[in-house]
Amino acid sequence: MGIYEGRGQLGKSMKELMHAWMETRTSWKDANADRFEKKHLVGLEQDMRAALSAMDVMSQLLSAIKRDCE
């Protein structure tokens, strides 16, 4: 699997997770839900954005390396 495929799968999975969470939040509206979101999902979403950004940079670097080696 290449970087673009992995990036796509990672992004899709995060989108599906957040969609499922939004559906869950329509019926789970208490302090425990707030704590769960803050403890698990907020940090995960931030880490995901950082990982996707790093994958973009890695892809650019690998393309440059490939060009330089040709």
Parse the chain into domains and list their residue ranges.
Answer: 3-69
- Looking at the chain, how many residues does it have? 70
**pTM, full prediction:** 0.75
What is the SS3 string spanning 57-68?
HHHHHHHHHHHH
Give the C-alpha separation, 16 to 36, whole Å. 17
pLDDT band of 22, cuts 50, 70, 90 = very high
Give residue-wise pLDDT tens across range 27-47: 999 999 999 999 999 999 999
pLDDT tens per residue across span 48-63: 999 999 999 998 999 9
pLDDT of residue 1: 66
